[in-house]
Amino acid sequence: MRMTQNKMVQPYLFFEGRCEEALEFYRVALGAEVLMLMRYKESPDPTMGSPGNGDKIMHASVRIGETTLLASDGRCEGPASFQGFALSLTVPTEAEADRLFAELAKGGQVQMPLTKTFFSPRFGMVSDRFGISWLIIVATL
């Protein structure tokens, strides 16, 4: 017999040294709220971070709308690589989709412009300045 438990899957993004910059970008662009942030220098285990990375972010919890993402600077060993996934951002109106898409596209790359599709009045794909791919979609009832 299987026991059911509450489970949650949360994206954990490693920005390889650019986490603080990313959190500020998402605060401005998406209204993200940092719920918790711990720097490597605050860890009780001094072996957790690399020398010189004390001010880098070891762990952060960030809320965007109803979703909580986790983020870190990681090991700061080179450029971040965000491949094989996208974050889907569902919004209630076309105006909100237009605004958020434009914000995420600043310094990024439009992969598919916002357009009407058979499944949504507005859908588009953009990779932000950190290399995170976003799918912006207007919810339909």
Domain 87-138 = CATH 3.30.70.20:
no
141 pLDDT above the threshold of 70:
no
Query: Token pair of 42, please?
Result: 């605050």
β-strands 57-64, 109-115: how paired?
Answer: unpaired
Domain boundaries, the chain: 12-72, 87-138
How much is the pLDDT for 53? 83
| Contact between 58 and 43 (Cβ < 8 Å) | yes
| Top-tier CATH class for 12-72 | alpha beta
Q: Of 131, 130, 132, 91, whose CA–CA distance to 114 is shortest?
A: 91
pLDDT in tens, 3-57: 668 888 999 999 999 999 999 999 999 999 999 999 999 988 877 777 778 899 9
pLDDT digits (tens, 9 = 90+) for 94-119: 999 999 999 999 999 999 999 999 99
Q: Identical fold at 12-72 and 87-138?
A: yes
Average confidence score pLDDT of the chain: 93
